[in-house]
Structure 1
């Protein structure tokens, strides 16, 4: 365990000279005291690593020195072949490049490592999409990925879901696309919307399948397309997503439906409704009535989504509000009664 950490530390210092003890501690998930001890161990092993003070300080290797700790262990070769999602690479338009890189990597490996790496693909398959959902590759995803790679500001047109059954509305704004995230088969773009003057820039997350148009943003003060942005080096996509994903999921739930549920409906609700709103709904639920029914307010994305979701609960869920959604269920119930009240094969 420690030997692997020492190798990682030497490679980190080689690839990123000037990392502080605190930065190395975060990367290696250890304390700063452990980093200091590991640096001493590397020095004793003949690796010329040193710590420098001052503005450009941190840990460095001696000038001209490059550690030769890059030989792959069989386990590392196996995991390297598992480090990407084939479907995600295909969606991004990178499957050909990934296949070529994999072939080049395989050609440089020792035969024993090549066998170990290739065997991992026969034993593990990473399937990103959620169950019961057809995976889709948004049409504009490859173009958006190119903008992410090249740090290119874009004009993004987005269909924002309407509230309370209203039709979606279209929004167009400039966006500095910092990264793409694949979550349960759905692609999201995370970016910064530049603000004029002293106003702070706003970070936004958009579902890529709701992006209806994409164009290069013009250069400031001119009509030439292809404006680029300067990426904030401190931005960490994984950390940002983890910190904001729960809030983003909740923000999508723009409407509220009041329900009265049977005991069985209450048990089944988490299996059909959006998880982002379930906890809030259950926390605010009232006490059961004399026959065991519970009334609660459920956050939903829209009335259309609520209808498609709650219809699965059948008679175990009664919509009390809004009235428009209750009317849709009333009409749906009449249609079902007419259909099943007739003999099979009857035409009405």
Structure 2
């Protein structure tokens, strides 16, 4: 039973008066039988729901009955969106408000619904950051939240990857996005709408300038378009590789999902030992070399020659570092014996 759906039924009856079970079912996308069951559960929880028979009948609340959300502040109302996201709420400076809003919501519910809501909250937890990395500190995030909500421009000093690495500009925040534990600011400036990593904001100060976000701006649609554009710019080439069965199993833990999908789409068997050959997208020779070396002997680069040489050169350096070959020792194809290479 969904406590959230029961609360929706209660609020619908409170705000709209008499409703048929058919109307409730259509509004919530459930069957009429489920709507009847929800209404029965509300009655059992102590909510004064009664049925009015007849053609124009339906279900309604006893006159004068209201749920009470007492003393909820503006910040607590904002925090309701993050009631199930304790980590992100803390990042935004709303941890206390989320707790207070949750307690007030629970207090306003009848006993039966309150117990069900508390039981549901006890068995779900969201941990947004990805594995193998620490969450990024973004000390200016609460100020950016204030700017987004009050529509005030912000003067920021920002560190980026290309030169000049530090830039200062005034931006008009349109929204914030949480992606795998990392916060991004979507904002407009004199250069157009752009995406800024919140952790890279070195300084920020609210200005007195007020602005209106364009009425046709859709944050979700913008983010989807941004990701598509990022992927198209990220990969600048391709490589042909051979993978052992174990190497293919280890792919998801060592390379980007786009590479895994490319292997699944293009893999063809090579020989009778379970190896396969596939074409994968690459960002650069250096980046691809670093990623593929994580797979060790379970991968062989077939092409391009530049990436194959980079892999072989790195293996030679490692071999010398571990005393496995002298600095002047060499063999054909940068130290790779083709007769014993994997996948041959």
Is TM-score (shorter-chain normalized) higher than 0.5? yes
Q: Of residues 250, 263, 268 in structure 1, which corresponds to 2:231? A: 250
Q: Match for residue 243 of structure 2?
A: 262
Scaled by the length of structure 2, the TM-score of the pair is 0.59
C-alpha displacement of 1:279 = 4.3
Q: How does 1:1-348 map to 2 (within 5 A)?
A: 70=67, 83-161=83-161, 169-170=165-166, 172-194=168-190, 202-216=192-206, 225-241=207-223, 243-244=224-225, 246-251=227-232, 253-256=234-237, 258-264=239-245, 265=247, 268-276=250-258, 278-279=260-261, 294=277, 296-300=279-283, 305-319=287-301, 320-321=303-304, 323=306, 329-341=311-323
Per-residue CA deviations over 1:246-292 (Å, capped at 9, x if unaligned) read 41441561543534223444564454222245546766x59777796
1:208 and 1:68 map into 2 onto residues whose CA distance is 46
2:8 and 2:109 map into 1 onto residues whose CA distance is 23
C-alpha displacement of 1:298 = 1.5
Aligned length: 276
C-alpha displacement of 1:87 = 0.5
Residue 11 to residue 210, structure 1, CA distance change in 2 (3 Å) = farther
The unaligned stretches of length 5 or more in structure 1 are 15-26, 31-40, 48-66, 73-79, 196-201, 217-224, 343-348
Per-residue CA deviations over 1:95-151 (Å, capped at 9, x if unaligned) read 122222233334444444443333333222122222333333323322322222221
1:109 and 1:3 map into 2 onto residues whose CA distance is 11
Task: State the secondary structure of the residue aligned to 1:129.
Answer: coil
1:121 and 1:334 map into 2 onto residues whose CA distance is 55
2:286 and 2:235 map into 1 onto residues whose CA distance is 12
1:70 and 1:101 map into 2 onto residues whose CA distance is 15
CA contact (8 A) 1:278 1:298 kept: no
CA contact (8 A) 1:156 1:174 kept: yes
C-alpha displacement of 1:230 = 0.6
CA contact (8 A) 2:285 2:310 kept: no
CA contact (8 A) 1:258 1:322 kept: no
